[in-house]
Structure 1
C-alpha cells in the first residue's frame, strides 16, 4: 500500500503547478493586452498628428514638401552622436552646471501675448455642439490664430489640463479621444 500513497500527492502537486502556471499565463496576457491598448492609443495620436502636419505641409507649399522628402530619405535607424558637455563656456556665454549651454531666452520673447492654450481650447470647445479631438482643435486653432505656432501635443496637453481642472470632459469613441466642455453639473461638483 505504501506504493499508492505518493500517486495522489504527485498528482496534486502537478495540478497545483499547472494551476499556478495558468494563472501566471493569464496575468501575462492581461499585461500584454494593456500594453497593446496603450500602444494602439499612441498610434492613433501619432496618426492624428500626421494628418494635421500633412495638412499644414500642404498649406505651406512646395518648400516644406522638398524638406520633408529630404528628411524621409534619411536613414531612420541612425542615432545622433552623443553630445559632449562643454568643459568651459565660451567667452560671454554662461554654461549650466552640467556643462551644457543655457537655453536662449530670445525664443520666449517671440511668444505672442494673448490667451493661454487652455483659454483658447476652452473658447473653441464652448462654441462646438459636439466633442472634438485634439487634432481637430489644433487644426481649428491653426486657422483662427495663424500668428501662433500651434502644435497638436501642446493642444493635447492643454486639453488634458482642462480635464484635470474639471473644465473639460474626455470621452472615448472606439480608439479615439474627444474633448468637450464639462457639463454644468459635473463642473459644479468639482469646484
Structure 2
C-alpha cells in the first residue's frame, strides 16, 4: 500500500494544478470578455463621434486636407480667410472646380433603383414591435437581401445616421444598444 501513496499524491497534485489552471483560464476569459465589451462600447462611441464630425465637416464645406492647410495658414498668420462666393484655392481655381473628394461612405456602391441602407433599416425597424440591435437588423437584412453584402458595422453606422436625422431612437439595456423608429409627437394619421 505504501507504494501507491506517492502515485496517488502525484496524481492529486496534477489534478489540483489542472483545476487551478482551469480556474485561472476561466478568470482570464472573463477579464478579456469584459475588456472586449468595454472596447466595443468605446468603438461605438468613436464611430458616433466620427459621424457627427463628418456631418459637421460637410456642413462647413471642407475636407481634412483643406482644414490642415487652413490651420497651417492660421499659425503663420500670412493668409487671410477666404471671403464671399468667389472663394479660390491656393492654386487659384474656384473651390468647386478643385474636384474635392466627397466624404468616405461606409456602404457598398448603390445601384440604380436599390434602396439605401437607411431606407432598408428604417423600413425593417418600422415593422417591428420591439427595438432591435444592430446585429439583429444586419441578420434580418442578410436574409431579406441576399444580393447585398451586409456588414454589422455598416448597419450600425446607418442606424446611428438614422438617430442623427431623428428617424430612429437609441436605447441602452445594460451593455447592449437597441434601435427603434421615433414616435412622432403629432404626426397626421394619413401619411
State the TM-score, normalized to the length of structure 1: 0.42
